[in-house]
Every structure is written in C-alpha cells, then in structure tokens.
Chains A and B, each alone.
Chain A
Amino acid sequence: MNDDDTTEPAERDKIIAAEYVLGVLGADERREVERRLAQEPALASAVAFWEEQLGVLADEVAPVTPPQHTWSQIAAAIPAAAGARRTSLWQSLAFWRGFGIASATLAAASIAALAYFGFVPATRAPLMATLAGSSGQPNFVATVTATGDSLLVVPATLLTNDPRAIELWLILPNQQPRSLGLIKPGQPIRLTIPPDLAGRLVPDAALAVSLEPPGGSPTGQPTGPVIASGKLTSL
C-alpha cells in the first residue's frame, strides 16, 4: 500500500481491510494487518464488513465432499471434556467482570448461558441484546429464550457497591418504558416476561437498565440514571 501516498490514512485502511479479506496481500502484510486488528476496532470492523460482503462469493465455489477420515481426525484433535468447559466459562465470569470485555466475548458468554440453562433454540431464532453504557462498554447481555416467555440477563461488568436497585426496561417506539423487573448485579437472572409484553420483544425493540431506589422504581417509570441500553437483534 505504500505506493498510494496520496490517500488519507483512514481511507487507506479501508482499502487494506478489503485487500486483506480479498487475499491479495503477501504473508508479511497479512501478519501486520492481523497484529493491528486486535488493537484497532475501526480496522476490525472494516475487515468484518468485507468478510460478510465478499464471503458470499463462496457461493460460486462448488462444494466437494471431504474424505471420511477428516472428521475422525478433527474429533481426535478436540478435547473430550465438554462438561468442564461449561463450568469454566461460568467460573471465569468473575474474571471477565474486572476487565472491559469485547461485545463478541459477551455475546459468547450469553450464548454459553443460553446453552447452560438448556434453552437450545429449536422453534424460533433467539433474540439477544448487548446492553452497553455511555462509554460503549457492554454491561449486560439479555437473551430472550426460545419459548419467548422469559429473559435471561447476564451481568458482565463490575458494578460499584451502589445500594440502588437495578431495573430492566423494555423501550418500544413512541411508548412509555415498561418495567421487566429487577436484575442482580453479580449473577445471571431469569425474568419472566409479563404475558402482555411477550409478543413485543421483537428485533429493534430496545432494553435499558436504570438505577432505582431499593425495591424498584416507585412510579412505574425510570427515575434514576440509565446505565446501559441496547437493541434486540435476532441470532
């Protein structure tokens, strides 16, 4: 890319991201892009854009059945102790809380929770929201269960020893927030969705979390600061 000095750095990065995904870079340039990906969200997001867009060109590649023994070699290469891994995900939740963790990891945490609680999605695509604070740091992940009648909320960041209650709200366009209940700072919780709201948790509906007096908002509307919010998206 050095031969394109007239281009702005940001613009040049967008091209580098595309070149990386397209596959035209040499080995050294590829390592350099990968090194930067971990530290530069803008570059990572440009790479994700092109992977998603260009990836569909694989439609033009004819599928070829791999030989039978390939699967047995893969199966032999992955650890057998599946149960242990679930536990360790939970144990490491405390560890995650101390750090600002990426939303991708958070999504994974919630996904693991989904599996842990036995909500293996069967009948409909699960809905999920990453609730982030004003700094963009994700604080909670909420997942609507496959049955659509409850919500699993996994906290992921360390909250201060604030005595206030933490209340979850459903925000629908042009409507007053509706309380979904109180959530706990340190542990995953399952909330039952009120029957009249069950059909309202749809993609693009938003969830928000506010700090309220102990016991929850006295007015039925958020009264304290909103510490996190996010939109539901379909898995």
Chain B
Amino acid sequence: MDADATRSQLAAALVRVAAGDRAALAILYQDTSSKLFGVCLRILKDRSEAEDVLQDVYVTVWRKAATFDPGRASPITWLVAIARNRAIDRLRVRGARGRLEPIEAADAVSDPAPSAVERVELAQQHQRLTRCLEELDARQSTAIRAAFLDGATYEELAARLNVPLGTMKSWIRRGLLKLRACLER
C-alpha cells in the first residue's frame, strides 16, 4: 500500500466518522491506535495515564472529525496533533514526575508490527523533515526531537542537557526558524 492510498483510506474513514458512522471510527482506531498510543506513552511514560488519554483522543476525534480539513492536513498528522495535545496537557497538569526516566522505558513494551497504514503514511514525509533537521546544528536537532517526542518544556530540556534556560530557548528558536526556511524551500 502506498502513501496516497493510506492517506485516502484514512481520510475516507474520517469522512465517515464526521457523518456519524461508528464503524468508521472502529476502523480508524484499528489502523491508528497503536501509533497514537505509542505517542501518548512516550510523552506520559505511564501506561494507565496513556490509556486514559487515548480514550479521550478518540472521543475527541469523534466530536471533531467534522473540522478535519483535508486541504490543510494529512489525516495521520491531524490525529497525531490531537494525541500530542491531549498528552501534553495531561503532562502539564501532572507535572514532570518521572520525567527523567530513560526514554527506552517506553520502547521496551513496543509492538514490533505496526499496521501498514501507520508505517507507510508517515514514513514518506518523514524523510523530508529528517533532511532538513540534518541541516541544523546537532544540538538544535537533538533538542527539537526531544521536545517533540517527550513533550518536554524548555526548563526540562535545559536541565536534561545541562545548559542555561536562555541557551536552550535560543537553540530551539533558531533551529525552528532554520527548519522552517528549509521546509519552505
């Protein structure tokens, strides 16, 4: 299955969810829940919290499918954005407890066989972003990756990489500006 096919398959499921089709939500869940659960777990580092957030994510998808704009977002990045927002909000409420656990904690329980949809849809666009991240200073791209994947605040990133807060902010901001310039080329 190629990226276009998976994209329209997911978009079609979202179309049907927007029209109130519960079976379509079940299909969407089947195709995307392990990716989104992985995303939530990576941020929250706690299975039961990640489960709560995942439920909340699909209930939100059910309610907000009508706002999905296929001209503006791909289905999977739209879903990932909802999952990350929910997980990060939960993390901010809870505080940084357990934040310094090694990242491998989440990988240890990972599923070795992602669905075809999850595998294909993200991989193609990912190459382009990776190319642009490679143009950045190594510290900038490391910080940006860690921020995105772990949902860490500037303060946590500064502490983790042992640099002053101001330095961390300026690494990331300059990195983001350079990244945008590269992506818009």
Contact = CB atoms under 8 A, between A and B. Distances in A.
A57 interface: yes
Nearest to B82: A51
Question: What is the size category of the interface that chain A forms with chain B?
Answer: 35 or more
B88 A108 contact: no
Interface in A36-86: 48-49, 51-67, 70-71, 73-75, 77-78, 80, 82-86
Given A15-B173, A61-B39, A54 B148 contact: yes
Contacts of B157: 24
Contact of B66 (A49, A108, A121, A126): A108
Given A52-B73, A55-B77, A71-B29, A64 B67 contact: no
Nearest to B84: A23
A104 B11 contact: no
28 contacts: A24-B147, A24-B153, A51-B80, A52-B72, A52-B74, A56-B77, A56-B126, A56-B129, A57-B126, A57-B145, A58-B76, A61-B35, A62-B114, A63-B34, A63-B110, A65-B111, A66-B37, A71-B26, A73-B55, A74-B25, A74-B59, A107-B69, A108-B67, A111-B14, A111-B18, A112-B66, A115-B19, A126-B8
Interface of A: 3-4, 14-15, 18-19, 21-27, 30, 48-49, 51-67, 70-71, 73-75, 77-78, 80, 82-86, 89, 103-105, 107-109, 111-112, 114-116, 120-122, 124-126, 128, 130, 233-235
